Amino acid sequence: MTKLLKFIFILLFPVNIYAMLNLELTQGVDKAIPIGLVSFSEHNDIADIISSDLQNSGHFRVVNIDAPQQSSYRVQAVNYAYWAQQKIDNVVIGNTKIIGNKYKITFKLLDVYGRSVLLNKEYTIPKKQLRALAHHMSDSIYQQLTGKRGVFSTKIAYVLVQRDPNKPTKYSLIVSDADGYNSQNLLVSSEPIMSPTWSPDGKNIAYVSFENKRAAIYSQNIASGERKIITKYPGINGAPSWSPDGKKLAVVLTKTSYPKIYILDLATNKPQQVTFGMFSDTEPNWSPDGQSLIFTSDRGGAPQIYQLDIQTGEVQRLTYQGDYNATASFTPNGKGIVILNRNNGMFNIALQDLTTGEVNILTEFGMNESPSIAPNGSMISYATHYGGRGVLSEVSSDGKVKLRLPSQEGDVQEPAWSPFLD
Amino acid sequence: MLKNSTYKWPFVFALLLHGILFSFLFIEFITYHNYTETNKPQVNIIKATAVDQAQVEKQIADIKAKRERKHQEELARIHRLQEAKLAKIRREKALQKQKALAKVKKQQKLKTQIETKRREEIQKAMQQQIAEEKQQMAEHDRQIQAEIDKYKALIIQTISQHWIIPSDIAKNISCQLIVNVAPGGEILSVDLARSSGNSILDRSARSAVLKSSPLPVPRNAEIFDNFRQLMLTVRPEGIEG
Amino acid sequence: MQKLLSSLKIFLLGIGILLLAACNTIKHGTSAASSGFGSEVSTSGIGSPAEFNDTNINADRLRAPYNQVYYFDFDKYDIYQGDIASIRVQSAYLSAHPDARVRIEGNTDERGSREYNITLGWRRAKIVAAIIEQQGVSPKQIVMLSYGKEKPVAFGHDEDSYRLNRRVNLIYEAK
């Protein structure tokens, strides 16, 4: 009888009272992180710049606040409960003070649910650096909350073509901030400019210029504007691409009467032929480890992307989707390539995963070209048409965020995203 | 001898017999004499011979001895008879005893059989009862488990809707959080038991949990006890909707 | 293509007529004669009857040294028969004038990668250059260049514009 009672007792009550219940969470949502941005006193430009930066990245949903509750900058006064109620995960609170002819900027990044201060920074700068500082702060916030480096302080080089029926066409090579502001001319010419490309240290840009009715490759120092001729062979001098160590330039020459790829040692300026055959090879781009080149070739008929192992000379085809693939470049982690892909007559920007072979088409409408990926791999800028003009657009590498940069007088083409500059 | 009551009567009987035999001994002597006197009519001239007193006494002694012998033999015979009878009685008694014992044993065996059977029946009845109770408790358990499972799913769904998975996270990493819950679902604390190695992922999981307060929990106090402390393993596998 | 050639013919015909008219005008001119009374009188005759130029309407195509345009079909790298004759005329001139030099510029329509189009324009320029060299002209007199799609002459996103852009320009750098 006692035995039975014991048995029943054990069945009714668990052995450990308040044992931990195990749960597993594997699915989430793909949403932008809500971030509150409290204005930095009267000097709103900084908050505006940070707001645009974060919002345009697609990772954040910026809530601009003029909240009187938060006008006090002291952390003790921060009302975490208020932000939690608004379902806002993070808050940026800043303060600006003018000291003489300088600005003293302080800001804090708060984790609302963790009730902690993630960033607490202070800067003293001249007024003209305000914009650059705002981008720098965006970078800090972005990195703290996503774990990735921000590209808000990077630059984009591009070609602007201004046609006028009464005047000769004007071609300009321009460098601007990643958000399109602060554009500066590097070169203005009456002949075409093509294929701008950044050196890995961000100090020089190489490009093709048709000045003097001949194609030649130039390298220009961005700070000083000084430039020198890299190659000027008869025929094609095209598609320059800097090696990751900055010591070599891959180029296209027609020394053999067919467009072939050469690697030029910048110290000696001697080109070494690396692709061979009676067909066209062009658009070389280096792998992040510097061991291979991907390029466009019509050795198989229509243009496709191939990979050359520089050591062994072995060439392998990479693209099989669509009937035309060109303008390939590696993603910064080397695991994928960004390409111009044509399918059913439509030219779109695509991302191909080199491990799975999966091709993800990122753009639509089919009038796109010249993709260039940001150094953190998150965004791809490219050229497209809008309103009868050539404009620059951006798409995130997962295809979800789309942006169009404000159009200018003329056609904008061939964007080239700079490396990290800080 | 008198101890064993079964010998009491045979002994008396024996004594009587001895008494009778002794008396026969004496009466016979006298009767012999009487017999001989009465049988005088038929007097035969018997040649009288000089009878030696000694010889006569010897003859008497012989006859006595003979009679004694006979008597003894008779006694012995009777004794033997008695003994046989006794033995027979003894055997019978023993047999009876055996039979009685056997009978008792059989009775006992039967008794035990009945008892065993009874015990078995009782056990069976008890087992059935236990089985039924077990079934009932299992059913009860199933219901409780179903309730627990339902709320587990609700909790996961709620947290999932608040969890913004960071982009570009490596596959197959996970973190573990210990969540303390008050009755009604209010989250008392969230602690990182094991980091995924990626602080951004850890923080996103923690925020998701905190954002989900109060969690949907059972109203039944007993069932809610299972939910006071949750061990949440967070492993990004996909995007929901 | 036919439509284009016929309008070209008419255009050239028109130019031809104008040139002839100019010639006629020049022949006759005006002469100013002075009279005894000091006033300037200019007399002019009525000119001779009009003469018609009965030469082939593709006059300049077959004349050297005149800059030329040769058109190409999409994805094709062959020269039209009519163009071959023109090329031969230019080649003959070049052979006869060793100091003359031509720049052969290859162009494409606007579709596709810019640098890959440079290679397509190159292919077109090469074909024309090959024909010229075949005629015995020294390579030193030929400069090949590809503009790819960088120098369009038509700006629509349609087949008509594409057709006008798929061309090789033969330009005399030195005559």
Q: Do chains C and B touch (3 or more CB pairs under 8 A)?
A: no
From chain A, the residues in CB contact with C103 under 8 A are 213
pLDDT, residue C2, reads 59
DSSP A93-123: EEEEEEETTEEEEEEEEEETTTTEEEEEEEE
- Indicate the residue of C115, C120, C147 with minimum beta-carbon distance to A239: C115
The per-residue pLDDT for B77 is 85
The whole-number average pLDDT for the span A386-393 is 90
Q: Which one of B148, B206, B238 has the shortest CB-CB distance to A113? A: B206
pLDDT band at A10 (very low <50, low <70, confident <90, very high): low
**pLDDT at position C33 over 60:** no
Task: Give the pLDDT score at B83.
Answer: 84
Q: How far is A59 from chain B (nearest CA, A)?
A: 9
- Answer yes or no: do C36 and C96 share one domain: no
Residue C59 has pLDDT above 70, yes or no: no
Nearest residue in A to B171, CA atom: A26
pLDDT at residue A260 in the model: 98
- Exposure class string for A159-174: b at 16+ Cβ within 10 A, else e: bbbeeeeeeebebbbb
Chains that touch A (3 or more CB pairs under 8 A): B, C
A254 vs C contacts (CB less than 8 Å): 122, 144
Chains that touch B (3 or more CB pairs under 8 A): A
pLDDT at C31: 36
**Cβ-based contacts of C126 with chain A (< 8 Å):** 257
Residue C24 has pLDDT above 50, yes or no: no
pLDDT at C144: 97
Contact A21 B229 (CB under 8 A): yes
Q: In this complex, is the C-beta atom of A99 within 8 Å of any C-beta atom belonging to chain B?
A: no
Q: Which CATH code for domain A33-146? A: 3.40.50.10070
Identify which of A213, A282, A327 has the shortest CB distance to residue C103: A213
- Top residue of A195, A236, A325, A386 to mutate, by most chain C CBs within 10 Å, is A236
Q: Give me the residue from C103, C122, C143 closest to A254, CB to CB.
A: C122
Least confident of A346-360, B73-87, C86-100, C105-119: B73-87
Same structural domain, C68 and C49: no
Q: How confident is the model at residue C30 (pLDDT cuts 50, 70, 90)?
A: very low
Taking the C-alpha atoms of residue A243 and residue A292, their distance in angstroms, rounded to an integer, is 10
Q: Tell which B residues from 98 to 117 touch A, by Cβ distance under 8 Å.
A: none
- Domain locations along chain B: 1-23+56-162, 165-234
Name A233's Cβ contacts closer than 8 Å, sequence gap at least 6: A253, A254, A255
Across residues A380-387, what is the average pLDDT? 93
Residue A68 has pLDDT above 70, yes or no: no
In angstroms, the separation between the Cα of residue A332 and the nearest Cα of chain B is 13
- Contact with chain A for residue B224, Cβ under 8 A: no
Maximum pairwise Cα distance, chain C: 78
How confident is residue C108, by pLDDT bands cut at 50, 70 and 90?
very high
Q: How confident is the model at residue A410 (pLDDT cuts 50, 70, 90)?
A: very high
Which pLDDT does position A64 carry in this prediction?
82
**Can you give the pLDDT at residue A42?**
65
Does the beta-carbon distance from A282 to C118 stay under 8 Å?
Answer: yes
Question: Do the Cβ atoms of A296 and C115 come within 8 Å?
Answer: yes
pLDDT at A280 over 50: yes
Distance from the Cα of C86 to chain A's closest Cα (Å) equals: 24
Torsion of CA B86, B92, B98, B102, to 10 degrees: -160
At A227 the pLDDT is: 96
Q: How many domains does one find in chain C?
A: 2
The partner residue sitting opposite C144, judged by closest CB among A192, A235, A280, is A235
ipTM: 0.90
Give CA angle at A331 (A329, A333), nearest 5°.
Answer: 140
Give residue-wise pLDDT tens across range A315-333. 999 999 999 999 999 999 9
% of chain C exceeding 90 in pLDDT: 58
Contact of chains A and C by CB distance (3 or more pairs under 8 angstroms)? yes
Q: Do A298 and C112 touch (CB under 8 A)?
A: no
Q: What is the mean pLDDT of residues C122-127?
A: 96
How high is the pLDDT of residue A70?
Answer: 47
Contacts of C114 in chain A (CB under 8 A): 194-195, 369-370, 413-414
Two tokens at A63?
A: 């809530």
Instruction: Report chain A residues whose CB lies below 8 A from the CB of B134.
Output: 11
- Separation in Å, CA of B115 to nearest CA in chain A: 19
Q: Mark yes or no for CB contact A28/B240 under 8 Å.
A: yes
Residue A25 Cα, gap to closest chain B Cα (Å)? 5
CA distance A235 to chain C (A): 5
Listed range (A157-161, A415-419, B48-52, C44-48) with the worst mean pLDDT: C44-48
Q: β-pairing, A315-317 with A304-309?
A: antiparallel
Residue B33 pLDDT level (bands cut at 50, 70, 90)? very low
Instruction: Name A383's bridge partners.
Output: A369, A392
Interface size A-C, in CB pairs within 8 Å, comes to 84
Rounded to whole angstroms, the Cα distance separating C127 from C131 reads: 6
Q: Is B218 on the interface with A (CB under 8 A)?
A: no
Question: What CATH code is carried by the domain that includes residue C148?
Answer: 3.30.1330.60
pLDDT at A12 over 60: no
**Same-domain status, C63 and C91:** yes
Check residues A89 and A249 and name the one with the higher pLDDT: A249
Q: Quick one: DSSP state of residue A402? A: E
pLDDT digit string, tens, across residues B209-234: 999 989 999 999 989 999 999 999 99
Tell me, yes or no, if A215 comes closer than 8 A to chain B by beta carbon. Answer: no
- C75 close to A (CB below 8 A): no
Q: Is C115 on the interface with A (CB under 8 A)?
A: yes
User: Touching check for A147 and chain B: CB below 8 Å?
Assistant: yes
**pLDDT band at A14; cut points 50, 70, 90:** very low
Q: Does the distance separating the beta carbons of A111 and B233 come in below 8 Å?
A: no
Whether C74 and C156 share a structural domain: yes
Judge: A327–C126 Cβ closer than 8 Å, yes or no. no
Nearest to C112 among A195, A252, A324 (CB): A324
Q: Which residues pair with C81 in a beta bridge?
A: none
Residue C103, chain A, CB below 8 Å: the answer is yes
- Whether the pLDDT of residue C53 is over 50: the answer is no
Q: Do A210 and C147 touch (CB under 8 A)?
A: yes
For B83-142, write each residue's pLDDT tens digit: 888 888 888 888 988 998 999 999 999 999 999 999 999 999 999 999 999 999 999 989
- In chain A, where does the domain assigned CATH 3.40.50.10070 lie? 33-146
Type of residue at C145: L
What distance in Å separates residue A296's CA from the closest CA in chain B?
Answer: 29
pLDDT value at position A255? 97
Give the pLDDT band of residue B26 (cuts 50, 70, 90).
low
Q: Which residue has the tokens 């645009």?
A: A52
Which positions 57-96 of B are in contact with A (Cβ < 8 Å)? none
More confident residue, B13 or C53: B13
Structure confidence at residue C35 as a pLDDT band (50, 70, 90)? very low
> Where does a domain end: C10, C28, C56?
C56
C175 touches chain A (CB under 8 A): no
**CA–CA gap between residue A172 and residue A397 (Å, rounded):** 28
Instruction: Provide DSSP, chain B.
Output: --SSGGGHHHHHHHHHHHHHHHHHHHHHHHHHHHHHHHT-SS---PPP-PPPHHHHHHHHHHHHHHHHHHHHHHHHHHHHHHHHHHHHHHHHHHHHHHHHHHHHHHHHHHHHHHHHHHHHHHHHHHHHHHHHHHHHHHHHHHHHHHHHHHHHHHHHHHHHHH-BPPTTPPTT--EEEEEEE-TTS-EEEEEEEE--S-HHHHHHHHHHHHHTPSPP--SSHHHHGGGSEEEEEEEEEEE--
Whole-number pLDDT of residue B56: 81
Please provide the average confidence, as pLDDT, over all residues in chain A.
Answer: 91
Residues C22 and C67 in one domain: no
Domain that holds residue C8: 1-56
Is the predicted pLDDT of residue C75 greater than 90, yes or no?
no
Residue A222 has pLDDT above 60, yes or no: yes
Average pLDDT over residues A242-266: 97
pTM for this prediction: 0.73
Q: Compare all CA atoms of chain A with the CA of C105 and give the residue at the minimum distance.
A: A213
> Out of A210, A254, A326, whose CB is closest to C113?
A326
CATH of B165-234 among 3.30.1150.10, 3.30.470.30, 3.40.50.740, 3.40.640.10: 3.30.1150.10
Residues in chain A closer than 8 A to B229 (CB atoms): 18, 20-21
Same domain? For C9 and C77 the reply is no
Instruction: Tell me the average pLDDT across A107-113.
Output: 91
Residue of B130, B141, B207 lying closest to A89 (CB–CB)? B207
pLDDT at A251: 98
CATH superfamily to which A156-417 belongs: TolB, C-terminal domain (2.120.10.30)
C159 near A CB under 8 A: no
